[in-house]
Structure 1
Amino acid sequence: MTVRWGILGTGGIARKMVAAVRARGGEVVAVASGDAARARAFADEQNVASAYGRHHDLLARPEDVDVVYVATTNDRHHLDAMACVEAGVPVLVEKPFALDLERAEAVVAAARTAGTFVMEAMWMRFQPGFVEAERRVAAGQVGEPLLVQADFGIAALPDTDRRWFSRELGGGALLDVGIYPLTFVTSVLGTPTRAAALGTLADTGVDATVSVAMRHGQERLSSWSCSFVADTGVEATVAGREGSLRLHGPFHAGGRLSLRRGSTVVEEHALEGPENGFEHEVDEVVHCIEGGRSQSERMPLALTLTTMRWLDELRRQVGVVYPHEDGSGTV
């Protein structure tokens, strides 16, 4: 069947999703924004039939869509996801799933009660490079993985009006880019048992740079960083006694791997994938919906909640407080 998608939000990532859905034979039938003119402009530009000037108006006729992609700002993710669950519409929620664990747990509990499909759009876990790295680690190419290192740092323009630096919109490096190395190290080494973080804050109060050390059980360690002001690159390494496997930048979306023994590269492997990479998570959503599943085995809700729990702890350690947490906001 042709899967009909609705999209909440009109930013750049929504445009990428339109292209990915169409590349996989799906149809984007509706878009919604908090601004009617913006929704109409997006619909006209992308050739989408219906446009709504309020987010949840898209859900007024839930029978008209098969799944909704939430591409709104971070502060709205839990609200829009919950609206989809309450309407009985399967939903793919852009990361971060919510601003904090409490909100994430509320959405997940509602979805489980309703039996509605919900998945966080952690597209990295579906990328060919990530899947191949997982396969090689499981095959013992580096021995038991003992240390994972990852960086996701970009030098963004210090625009306090931009969502990335807005406390009100749930900005900060951890939630927007730190979620990738956190998910990566957890995927490879297992759930963290201890973490220590140091960070610097932007003038707006959100985290600009964070450096993290984690323990994953007795012998496994990870170190990773994220930044909106330091251009660290976006690469990751998994190391064991037999060697190391490097995912070259950008590690969350790239398709080039190198295997090292000591300081010698013994193998390089390049993978080709779709143009924007979102097609893989589109495939997973369609697979789950057509199979009547309420969650993805590849991106389970338990992993989303584990990630959210540690994001909360790391934010606490570096001193980031969002408006709903200090009483200055209500969302």
Structure 2
Amino acid sequence: MPFLPAPRLIDPAAVPALRWGVIGTGIADQFVHAIHTHTTQRAVAVTARDTTKTHAFAERHGIARTHDSVDELVADPKVDVVYVATPHPLHREQALAAIAAGKHVLIEKPIAMTAADAREILDAGRAAGVLVAEAMWTRYLPQADVVRQLLEAGTLGEIDLVRADFGSLVPFDPASRMFAPALGGGAMLDLGVYIVAFASSIIGPPTTIRAVGTLAPTGVDDSATIALKTDAGAQAALTTTFGAVTPIEASVFGSRGRLDVLSPFYGPTGLRLSVDGQVEEWRDDTLPQVHDGLGYQATAVASFVGAGLVESPLHPHDEVVSVLATIDEVRRQIAAG
């Protein structure tokens, strides 16, 4: 029978209990719930554009301090690390402010609007000697560690193809974050970052990128079909769309076998390994809600800070930039028709 190794987990009690300052109250709601429920990390301060929502968020999560501005929050001496959870066009300015204040920073995906902006943020963090990481939480899930072990062991043989999809039915609204250019709209920046990052984690950076897709009336991409190829010959077939619900699965095909990441592949779900005609399945049912898995990345960030690192060894700076460079090119090709 194939053998799925056990995930190598970081003990939440074995890492520094960092004090987190939170910018934004959207996905941050699920993040703070996850860290307070499943880790030793604690949110101690929050700021957001809407004062009423900020105070309600703080009360809901037992956060002691609210700040009137990003500058106030990053200057707070009781904050060790800043979590940037605002729309992506704001990430660059807010991350650079946190870095300039000497804070470690975890920035929601995508880390920036372009690869160039991502490089600027990451270089600033390195120069300041603080940890900067993109919040690609998928990379820190238990199943991601199992996948890494299988790749390191060569269980699947030579990797030939990666497939991944992420489609969600999103009604068109020109003012919404999904469709407004000023808010970083588009399927690639919202959903597509997951599929490109997954392919990158398996086959590395592509040297050939081909993409077709469609544009919403506002001019942002609302679907994409992508083919990637590396110099070694490995390929990826990726799809994303705002126009339909897709299986949200990912698969890796090698010369010896196949690995499926169960739906939704971006969260803690499970794996199915097929090797030499034998099938083994592992499911991750340890958490009550999918987004409780956000806690894994917070624990990982704390472990990196404790080790004095300035980048994530599981999601290094060069890869963060490479993924955004791929997205830049996909968006360019779709816009060009």
Task: Work out whether the TM-score is over 0.5.
Answer: yes
> Any conservation in 1 of the 2:268–2:293 contact (CA below 8 Å)?
no
1:323 aligns to what?
Answer: none
Aligned pairs for 1:224-263 (under 5 A) are: 224-260=238-274
Instruction: Please give the secondary structure, in 2, of the residue aligned with 1:233.
Output: coil
- SS at structure 2 position matched to 1:314: helix
Task: Specify whether residues 136 and 41 from structure 1 end up closer, same or farther in structure 2 by C-alpha distance, changes over 3 A only.
Answer: same
Q: Tell me the distance in 2 between the aligned counterparts of 1:219 and 1:102.
A: 27
Q: Distance in 1 between matches of 2:251 and 2:101?
A: 42
Q: What amino acid sits opposite 1:312 in the alignment?
A: D
8 A Cα contact 1:258 1:265, kept in partner: no
Q: Distance in 1 between matches of 2:192 and 2:259?
A: 21
8 A contact 2:165–2:240 mirrored in 1 = yes
Cα displacement (A) at 1:54: 2.2
Aligned partners of 2:94, 2:115: CA distance in 1, in Å? 16
Query: What is the count of residue pairs matched by the alignment?
Result: 317
> 1:30 and 1:217, CA in 2 relative to 1: closer, same or farther beyond 3 A?
same
Mark the runs of 5 or more structure 1 residues left unpaired by the alignment: 321-331
Q: Pick from 312, 316, 325 the counterpart of residue 296 of structure 1.
A: 312
1:64 is aligned to 2:78: yes
AA aligned opposite 2:92: H
Q: Which amino acid aligns with 1:298?
A: L
Is the contact between residue 212 and residue 224 of structure 2 (CA under 8 Å) also seen in structure 1? yes
8 Å contact 1:154–1:233 — kept in the other structure?
no
- Which of residues 245, 248, 266 in structure 1 aligns to 2:279? 266
- One-letter code aligned to 1:294: V
CA RMSD of aligned residues (A): 1.7
Q: Is the 8 A contact 1:213 1:224 kept in 2?
A: yes
- Which amino acid in the other structure matches residue 296 of structure 2? H
TM-score using structure 1 length: 0.91
Structure 1 residue 34: deviation in Å? 1.7
Moved more, 171-180 or 41-50: 41-50
Is residue 41–residue 298 contact of structure 2 (8 Å, CA) maintained in 1? no
Once the two structures are aligned, what percentage of the paired residues are identical? 36
Check conservation: 1:212, 1:224, Cα contact below 8 A: yes
In structure 2, the partner of 1:53 is 68
Cα 1:2–1:247 shift into 2, 3 Å:
closer
Query: Which structure ranks higher in relative contact order (CA pairs < 8 Å, sequence separation ≥ 6)?
Result: 2
2 CA distance for matches of 1:225 and 1:53? 40
1:26 is aligned to 41
Deviation, 1:36, is 1.9
Q: Which amino acid aligns with 1:277?
A: G
